[in-house]
């Protein structure tokens, strides 16, 4: 049985509002590129009775839950086990050339956070796994055991924006020489011991390291940088994309991709913008939109969200 209470979709009504103009027509196709437990997907299928949904997810547990939850919608639903940078291949496999709407709800899903054994949380002891796709080989434990001190320093700095990256990397290499790091509690204890008390008062010392490890395990930023252009290319004229990002590194990738798509292609100094130089997309929100205070209070996972959206105006000749 699916428990619909375990997942509250972030910015659901705003997401529906932004995508509605592209979906309110017969034959519209929506790609939920980060299906998760299908909270957003179920709402869209209910609101738009003729909508066809393509749901992508790398997490087989999430797909199983989504399949049960979306079963009442029958052949309007197509689920694909894949990482979302294989966006184009997933559509080709279904015989779909263009789509009407696209939703990305990035980061760790509620399922992954709430199931302690997945190892995503620094607040509960679990194996150091952090795989979004349990069929992949790389785990946080493997990274901590095999990456060099320089490699550990790099991912903590680049993916966690952690100022104490050199210290943490050194301590990890020292510890693993005598004891393998296999549990999240071990890593939290090590990081806490290496963190000045004054820094600990600012926030949990392990937060950024766990973020960095998760991003490295799942190659999240590289995947996202490939996925957004592929998704934009699949949109039909009038089609819309909405992206929900939860940390600055993700949001920066999305911002740059959408800004580039919405920019004029006219050469510098050209006195008149020719039709072929006009932007192919327009941005639908100014900057990044935040969740309301009311939603943040009701659903704390909406607190860091940054929403961006765009619409395709034309296709390049």
DSSP notation for 209-229:
HHHHHHHHHHTHHHHHHHHHH
Same domain, 228 and 207: no
How does pLDDT run along the chain (317 residues), one tens digit per residue?
Answer: 344 445 689 999 999 999 999 999 999 999 999 999 999 999 999 999 999 999 999 988 889 999 999 999 999 999 999 999 999 999 999 999 999 999 999 977 665 565 656 667 787 889 999 998 888 899 999 999 999 999 999 999 999 999 999 999 999 999 999 999 999 999 999 999 999 988 888 888 899 999 999 999 999 999 999 999 999 999 999 999 999 999 999 999 999 999 999 987 666 666 666 666 688 999 999 999 999 999 999 998 899 999 999 999 988 76
In the listed set 149, 184, 218, which residue is the last one of a domain according to the structure? Answer: 218
> Is the whole model's pTM more than 0.75, yes or no?
yes
Q: Supply the pLDDT for residue 278.
A: 83
> Tokens 């302690």 label which residue?
116
Same domain, 255 and 305: yes
Residue 183 DSSP class: B
The C-alpha atoms of residue 79 and residue 64 are separated, in whole angstroms, by 10
Residue 101 inside a domain? The answer is: yes
Q: Supply the pLDDT for residue 274.
A: 61
Same domain, 96 and 164: no
Same domain, 161 and 35: no
Q: Supply the pLDDT for residue 2.
A: 44
Helices assigned H by DSSP within the chain: 12-23, 39-47, 60-70, 87-93, 110-114, 140-146, 149-160, 165-176, 184-193, 197-200, 207-218, 220-234, 248-261, 293-298
In the listed set 183, 199, 218, which residue is the last one of a domain according to the structure? Answer: 218
- CATH number where 259 lies: 3.40.50.150
How many folded domains does the chain comprise? 2
Report the binding-site residues for S-adenosyl-L-methionine.
38-40, 57, 84, 105, 112
Q: Supply the pLDDT for residue 69.
A: 96
Residue 73 inside a domain? The answer is: yes
C-beta of residue 122 within 8 angstroms of C-beta of residue 204 = yes
Residue 128 inside a domain? The answer is: yes
Structural domain span for residue 206: 120-218
- The residue length of the chain stands at 317
C-beta of residue 90 within 8 angstroms of C-beta of residue 57 = no
Report the binding-site residues.
38-40, 57, 84, 105, 112
């Amino acid at each position: 049985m699916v428990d619909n209470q375990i997942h509250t979709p972030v910015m659901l009504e705003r997401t529906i509002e932004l995508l509605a103009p592209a979906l309110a027509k017969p034959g519209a196709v929506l790609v939920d590129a980060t299906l998760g437990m299908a909270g957003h997907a179920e709402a869209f299928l209910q609101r738009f009775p003729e909508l066809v949904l393509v749901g992508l997810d790398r997490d087989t547990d999430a797909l199983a839950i989504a399949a049960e939850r979306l079963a009442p919608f029958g052949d309007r639903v197509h689920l694909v086990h894949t990482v979302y940078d294989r966006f184009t291949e997933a559509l080709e496999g279904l015989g779909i050339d263009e789509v009407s709407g696209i939703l990305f709800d990035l980061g760790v899903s509620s399922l992954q956070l709430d199931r302690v054994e997945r190892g995503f949380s620094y607040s509960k002891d679990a194996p150091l796994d952090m795989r979004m796709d349990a069929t992949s080989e790389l785990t946080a434990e493997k990274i901590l055991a095999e990456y060099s001190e320089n490699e550990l320093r790099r991912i903590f700095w680049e993916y966690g924006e952690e100022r104490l990256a050199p210290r943490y990397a050194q301590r990890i290499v020292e510890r693993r020489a005598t004891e393998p790091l296999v549990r999240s509690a071990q890593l939290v204890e090590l990081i806490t011991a290496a963190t000045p008390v004054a820094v600990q008062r600012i926030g949990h010392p392990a937060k950024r390291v766990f973020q960095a490890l998760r991003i490295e395990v799942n190659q999240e930023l590289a995947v996202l940088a490939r996925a957004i252009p592929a998704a934009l290319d699949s949109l039909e004229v009038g089609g819309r994309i909405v992206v929900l990002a939860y940390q600055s590194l993700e949001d920066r990738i999305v911002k740059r991709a959408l800004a580039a798509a919405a920019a004029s292609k006219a050469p510098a100094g050209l006195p008149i913008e020719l039709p072929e130089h006009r932007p192919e997309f327009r941005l639908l929100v100014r900057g990044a939109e935040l969740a309301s205070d009311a939603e943040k209070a009701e659903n704390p996972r909406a607190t860091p969200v940054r929403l961006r959206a765009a619409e395709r105006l034309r296709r390049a000749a």
